Amino acid sequence: MNRRPGGELAARQLHFIWMVDCSGSMGADGKIEALNNAVDEAIPHMREVAAENPNAQLMVRVVRFSNGAQWHVSQPTPIDQFQWTPLSADGVTDLGKALAEVAEQLSVDKMPPRALPPVLVLLSDGQPTDDYKAGLKKMMDQPWGKKAVRIAIAIGQDADFECLQAFIANPELKPLAANNADRLTQLIKWSSTAVVQSASAPASQVAGSNGPVGNVPIPEPPDPANLPASAQDVW
């Protein structure tokens, strides 16, 4: 904590939410297993980023959507205590319900006014099967929904890029495409470390940004050319 005359200044909370498509198609070609492995691998790196910035307290939770939407980790959990429990795949793609669930948590009475802009990372491989626009409106109607840093990762070539672009709501930023497990791991690590670092740091300290989301500069995503030669497009 920083010290100041009259007392200590508490760290500002940074809420990070994974929004994970767990529809039946995610069970094909090892996509859900790759996602589970990628997030599990990213967690130690998230802890390192959090440790480098004691002015921000990184809180993590997870919502899954398939037939409806359920919180996989419902309580904001400090990254030091966060453990990934593998997800499984079945059902349809009720993205709208997931957006509505998240919207409820972005109200001003559930998120501290001193919090940093939340980071929302949406991962999906298919087409929404419910009214995602209604859920998206609920989210964007919330003050923290508008301010949130929204990252979308399309898993495979059947993902609905138009829908993911609507979630981002910024023409300068595009959904990121992961067509194999290595690229998915690369993008999940980037979104949960580099983006979190930007969201928790003053804008003047962020280099190589890719355009702002609200007041948060988004760092350039990793170059797929840096993937190992063994990585092949399979999804």
231 phi, psi to nearest 5 deg:
-70, 125
Q: What's the pTM value of the predicted model, to 2 decimals?
A: 0.91
Output the pLDDT for position 204.
Answer: 44
Provide the 3-class DSSP secondary structure of residue 152.
strand
Output the pLDDT for position 226.
Answer: 83
Provide CB contacts within 8 A for 98, sequence distance 6+.
19, 63, 64, 65, 69, 135
8 Å CB contact between 46 and 60: yes
Per-residue pLDDT in tens (0 to 9) along the chain, 235 residues: 444 444 456 789 999 999 999 999 999 999 999 999 999 999 999 999 999 998 999 999 999 999 999 999 999 999 999 999 999 999 999 999 999 999 999 998 898 888 999 999 999 999 999 999 999 999 999 999 999 999 999 999 999 999 999 999 999 899 999 999 999 999 999 999 999 999 987 554 444 455 555 568 889 999 988 887 777 778 9
Single out the residue of 86, 90, 75 nearest to residue 21, CA to CA: 90
A 10 A CB-CB count for 225 gives 5
- CA–CA dist 145, 106 (Å, integer): 6
8 Å CB contact between 219 and 198: yes
Output the pLDDT for position 202.
Answer: 59
Single out the residue of 153, 210, 150 nearest to residue 177, CA to CA: 153
First-to-final CA distance of the chain: 45
